[in-house]
Amino acid sequence: MAQSNPDIPVFDHSATPNATRMPRWVRQPLGDDLHYGLTAGSVTGNRLHTVCEEARCPNRGECWSRGTATFMLLGDTCTRACGFCAVKTGRPDGFDADEPRRIAAAVQAMGLEYVVITSVNRDDLTDGGAAIFAATLHRLRSDNPDIGVEILTPDFHRCQEAAVATVCAALDPRPGLRLVWGHNMETVPRLYRSARKGADYDRSLRLLALAAAQSGVEAKSALMLGLGETRDEVLEVLHDLRAAHVTRIALGQYLRPTRYHLPVRAYLPPEVFADYAHAARDLGFTWVKSGPLVRSSYHAEEQQQ
């Protein structure tokens, strides 16, 4: 299992320039068709947050135009300050227990058959927000027993086993109805000190292994590339994920949300992502998405590559 090196210097966040100009293959237009407006209306009308907006996802136009969105629980303020993330950092003001109902209402209005639910980190809550995930899962499956659900959770620091038990208690026991449990490793261990402050590589692996061990759960993770990692480091993370029984992986290009976030060290061409996809399949991942604009929830509803 890979270990972080405390002697490796961290990146400077303060306006260090990107390595090169952004290439054409990572540029995306904003969607403007009918589905985009309906998605935006459902999100706004139900007073919901989405990672599409808060994290400045480059695929918002495409995904909202397809009528999909990744809903974000527990407000718009995160208790951590990751060097890559555009989500607001601070002290959250409580939480909204009515969010599960409003998310279910938006999902029904949008006619979704598959939904992705994520959240900010809430280290201020004793359960890390697990109860809200469980309540949302229960509400979604109560309204539509056959809906596909994917959750993208924080690491549930200090309460992993309890959090997994809380969420899994809301699972439907019917055979064949699965929950995809995602938690993103984000980058290689050497870069955690600058990219994932407050996170721990081994802790994240433990959560994924715990989730993968549950009946009716399939584990998923994602990596951002272009932060200065090497190919060998990426392959080592993929090996660690498979050892934790993770079967789904998304690999995408890191894009700097503002000049005060970590700089892009390299823009990887599509052929490099194709090479990583081949390596991931050789390792036994059954669902692989790898490309410059791939994010953890990108085309999540597709059953396989």
Question: Which is it for strands 217-225 and 179-182: parallel, antiparallel or unpaired?
Answer: parallel
pTM of the model: 0.84
pLDDT tens digits along 69-113: 678 889 888 899 888 787 888 999 888 899 999 889 888 888 888
pLDDT of residue 3: 46
Task: Name, of 59-68, 87-96, 131-140, the range with top average pLDDT.
Answer: 131-140
Domains and CATH numbers, the chain: 43-290 (3.20.20.70)
Residue that is written with structure tokens 């890559």 in the block: 84
Helix (H) or strand (E) segment spanning residue 270 = helix 270-283
Q: pLDDT tens digit string along 24-42? A: 777 655 445 545 555 555 5
Q: Are strands 70-73 and 49-50 parallel, antiparallel or unpaired?
A: antiparallel
pLDDT for 41 equals 56
Could you give the CA distance from residue 2 to residue 8 in angstroms, rounded to a whole number? 14
How distant is the alpha carbon of residue 51 from its chain centre? 9
The one-letter code for the residue type at 157 is H
CB atoms within 10 A of CB 156: 27
| Structure confidence at residue 131 (pLDDT) | 97
Give backbone dihedrals phi and psi of 29, rounded to 5 degrees, phi first: -75, 155
What span, in angstroms and rounded, lies between the C-alpha atoms of 196 and 199? 5
**Rg, C-alpha atoms of the chain:** 18
Give the separation between CA 253 and CA 233, rounded to whole angstroms.
16
Q: CA-to-CA distance for 203 and 223, rounded, in angstroms?
A: 16
233-243: per-residue pLDDT in tens? 999 999 999 99
Residue 32, exposed/middle/buried by CB under 10 A (0-12, 13-18, 19+)? exposed
Q: In the 3-class helix/strand/coil scheme, how is 255-272 assigned residue by residue?
A: CCCCCCCCCCCCCCCHHH
Question: Quick one: DSSP state of residue 171?
Answer: S
- Summarised one tens digit per residue, pLDDT across range 147-188 is 889 999 999 999 999 999 999 999 987 888 889 999 999 999
Beta strands per DSSP E along 62-185: 70-73, 77-78, 88-89, 114-119, 148-152, 179-182
* Burial class of 90 by CB neighbour count within 10 A (0 to 12, 13 to 18, 19+): exposed
Q: Residue 112 has what pLDDT?
A: 81
Residue 21 has pLDDT above 80, yes or no: no
Supply the pLDDT for residue 48.
52
